[in-house]
Amino acid sequence: MDYKNKSVWITGASSGIGKELAIQFAALGANIILSARSVDKLNELKQSLNGDGHLILPLDLSAPEAVLAQVTDLLDTLPAIDILINNGGVSQRSLFLENEFNVYRQLMEVNYFGLIALTKAVAPTMVARRSGSIVSISSVAGKVGSKFRTGYSGSKYAVVGFMDCLRAELAEHNIHCLTICPGSIKTAIAHNSLNEQGIAQNKPEHSIENGMNVSLAAKKMISAISNKKDEVVIGQGISGWAPTIKRFFPALFNKLTAKANYR
């Protein structure tokens, strides 16, 4: 696919997968709309990108109603969006019995309602043009559950279900809907994961530190967009195989996850 002068909107663009997607899409000639909370990080990224047609639009996905209102008001001033990548999100590493209830609220606001708000604002413009791709980054945790992730996994399962329904509804309007389920990718996601009090745990995780290189992961994601895939799992080792193992050997998978003692 030729991405030259295409408009790609990426949330969670200040770090990790979002940042790498921005770098690679810009290298392909696309114009990027960069969204995250940190204006300083977005400015730093913008200055490093290939090309000069990039924009910064700060968003706080934890306030979805504000996102919907803000984006709806600004759409007329933005270029037509060819690809929307709902990447912004937050993870969690804590036990259900220890979690404060607000942890679940935080995760759903950012990972699910924030995603819906932005999609709600942008999708009608794509429908009007009968063109566009809506890409949502879920997780392998949105396909299989495990310890320490009741809130995160629940929010990511919700993203998978939402995208399945959206894909069915928008097919007649020629809109491509892709769900990406990354496994362990080497980013700062573990450090930013919420603990039982809803505060970033600020510590590494073995599976993430030894996960797939983020540059390779982003390359595979762009390939899935180019090939108009509906859903892809991207990961190496057990994180990439987990959905398949759960599908064909559910009892074994459930026993293994129950015995696991890692975060």
Active-site residue list: 152
Residue among 186, 196, 187, 167 nearest 236 (CA): 186
Return d(Cα 13, Cα 34) in angstroms, integer. Answer: 6
Task: Write phi, then psi, for 181 (nearest 5 degrees).
Answer: -115, 90
Helices and strands counted in the chain (H then E):
11, 7
CA 174-110-257 angle, 5° bins: 95
Per-residue three-class SS string for 59-95: CCCCCHHHHHHHHHHHHHHCCCCCEEEECCCCCECCC
The bridge status of strand 176-182 relative to strand 231-234 is parallel
Question: How long, in residues, is the chain?
Answer: 263
For 47-198, where are the E strands, in sequence order? 55-56, 83-86, 133-137, 176-182
Is 49 within 8 Å of 19 (Cβ atoms)? no
Contact 225, 28 (CB under 8 A): no
Torsion of CA 18, 201, 140, 104, to 10 degrees: -100
